[in-house]
């Protein structure tokens, strides 16, 4: 959310994602309907969209995760 609720400026990240080994990693998703369905509807394959927890589970020994 971004705006002035109760006389105070609030600025929240709507979504945060990154690319890792040809996958879209969703770190933070504040869309009401979720970001994944929007990406899939745009033509991105569902198997190419993962979240941070899935990334850590699928690549537990990949040290490059520490630097992205």
User: Looking at residue 11, what is its pLDDT?
Assistant: 77
DSSP 68: -
pLDDT in the model for residue 65: 58
Q: Select from 38, 46, 44 the least CA-distant residue to 14.
A: 38
What integer pLDDT is reported at residue 64 of this predicted model? 62
| Residues in the chain, pLDDT under 70 | 1-3, 60-68
**Closest of 30, 27, 26, 23 to residue 45, by C-alpha:** 23
**Residue 5: both structure tokens together:** 């609720």
Q: What's the confidence (pLDDT) of residue 49?
A: 93
pLDDT digits 0-9 by tens, 22-32: 889 888 888 77
Spatial contact of 39 and 45, defined as CB atoms under 8 Å apart: no
């Amino acid at each position: 959310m971004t705006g002035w609720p109760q006389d105070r400026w609030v600025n929240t990240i709507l979504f945060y994602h990154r690319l890792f080994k040809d996958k879209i990693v969703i770190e933070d998703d504040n869309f009401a309907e979720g970001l994944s369905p929007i990406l899939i509807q745009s033509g991105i394959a569902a198997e190419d969209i993962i979240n941070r927890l899935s990334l850590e589970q699928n690549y537990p020994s990949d040290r490059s995760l520490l630097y992205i």
